[in-house]
Amino acid sequence: MRHGGLPWGHAPRTGADNRVTERVERGLSIVAMTLRAVLAVQIVIAVPAGFRAATHPWVYLLVSLVVLGQCLLLVVENGVLKTPLRGHWQFPDLALGLLVIPVLAWVLPASYAVGSWENWAGGYTVGVATLLATWMRPRPAAVYGVLLSACYLGVVGPLGITTWATVLAQGATYLGLAIPMSLFVAYVREAAHAADDARREAVEATRALELERYQVTVHDAVTVLRLLGDDATPADLREMLRAQARMESRRLRTYLRGRAEPLTHLGEGQGQGEGEGAQDAGLPAESATVASAVESALHGFEDLNVELALMLGGDIPMPLETWEVTSRALTAVLHNVRLHADAARVVIHADEHPVGWEITVTDDGRGFDPAARAEGFGLRTQVRGAVARHGGEATIESTPGVGTTVTLVGPAAVLERRTP
């Protein structure tokens, strides 16, 4: 198990990110307070009789008051701090545990050493050994348990008032409490830390996912707005960009409403109020196929000289989610072609593939050196990442001055192939 903090104990973990750990610490504090409060009541009950029986009654009373004060300190500190790992009660507890066994054996008659609460040293030291688990690691706890056992055996054994078997069994109690309880509490703390770490990782993953969703949502819109705001953009292209901007505005409104609404639902009652129909929203006419995914992505890119070669694979059916992701990925590729490639010709080819279908987008534009230039968000996340998350694969090949080829491969839907 991992341990942090002091050599003999654990470092407390607090804060909003450690809620489970804080609850565990609060629970251990309640256990410590309850055990010591019960022990204090038992000592208070036994003190009058012990005072009368003691050969040195005032020493007996003084030691009893010191231990009761220590019990009160433990209860108050644990109640205030809500963790056994802080405060100043631990080390006086260790010292008193080793002190009370010989002192009470000295101030009381030998007959009180075993089996009486007038000699409350046994009950107190058992409580000390038990509470070690709340703040001490197993190895130091074992060392202290050995010291308590040796102290008890060395003091009570020579008195000869009971059998050595009884003395040995009582001495073993300290180790039997200190070590297993310390291991158990360490395990509980480790489990609480793991739960807090898992929760923290889940929150961070959710934030990262939401950030990526936001980036995916606004990336294409930013590209469209960038071209619309460029004075050098031709007038005929501006009209196409305005159509794309209307589509992007609908997607952004859907995102702002907090709905992860699929593309196939956009335009049903939203875009149509603005004069846009199903085709403007990029929806397939009848079913999700390779051809309809390509046709959906082509909306608004009439300025590009695109040649389609879909006869070999256009009718392959696609799962709806895969269709949506593929359409968005192709849109991102075409935005890159428009913005960066300066291509005279773009060829989109569809074919069968052992895993389902294959779509290639090839342009004769500027190209780039993949080894010298890192992929942007569009290619890295909207194309590679999105396709991979839905069981597909995207590869990008480019040569400066020659052009770029993007290949998408993905699974087909479990449906009968449509006949042409």
The whole-number pLDDT of residue 282 equals 45
Q: E strands along 190-323, which residues? A: 306-309
Dist CA 227 CA 168 (whole Å)? 88
Mean pLDDT by 10 residues, the chain (420 residues): 46 68 89 90 92 93 93 89 79 88 90 84 87 82 85 82 78 81 86 88 80 67 68 68 71 66 40 37 60 87 87 87 88 85 89 91 89 76 84 89 91 61
The whole-number pLDDT of residue 358 equals 93
The whole-number pLDDT of residue 330 equals 92
- Domain boundaries along the sequence of the chain: 16-201, 229-283, 286-420
Contact present, 348 and 309 (Cβ < 8 Å):
yes
Q: What does DSSP assign to residue 363?
A: E
Listed as own residue / partner, the contacts of 197-200 with beta carbons closer than 8 Å and 24 or more positions apart are 199/17, 199/19, 199/20, 200/17
The whole-number pLDDT of residue 216 equals 65
The whole-number pLDDT of residue 47 equals 92
The whole-number pLDDT of residue 15 equals 60
Q: What is the dihedral of CA 217, 218, 221, 226, to 10 degrees?
A: -160
358 bridge partner residues: 351, 409
Contact present, 78 and 32 (Cβ < 8 Å):
yes
Dist CA 9 CA 224 (whole Å)? 59
Topology classification of domain 286-420: Heat Shock Protein 90 (3.30.565)
The whole-number pLDDT of residue 261 equals 47
State which amino acid sits at residue 400: P
